[in-house]
Amino acid sequence: MNCIFCKIIAGDIPSSKIYEDDELIAFNDIRPIAPVHFLIVPKQHIESLVDCDAGQQALLGKMLLLAPELARQQGLNGFRTMINTGREGGQEVFHLHVHVFGGGQTLPKT
Question: Residues interacting with its own copies, by CB under 8 A?
Answer: 33, 49-50, 52-54, 56-62, 64-65, 67-68, 71-72, 76-91, 99, 101-102, 107-110
Question: In the bound complex, what is the minimum distance in angstroms from residue 12's beta carbon to its own copies?
Answer: 25
**Burial of 49 by CB count in 10 Å (0-12 exposed, 13-18 middle, 19+ buried)?**
middle
User: How distant, in Å, are the alpha carbons of 35, 51, 62, 93 from that of 86?
Assistant: 26, 11, 22, 9
Annotated active-site residue in 37, 45, 95, 97: 97
Question: In the bound complex, what is the minimum distance in angstroms from residue 11's beta carbon to its own copies?
Answer: 26
**Is 99 among the catalytic positions?**
no
Question: What does the alpha-carbon distance between residue 108 and residue 15 come to, in Å, rounded to a whole number?
Answer: 27
| Residues assigned a catalytic role | 97
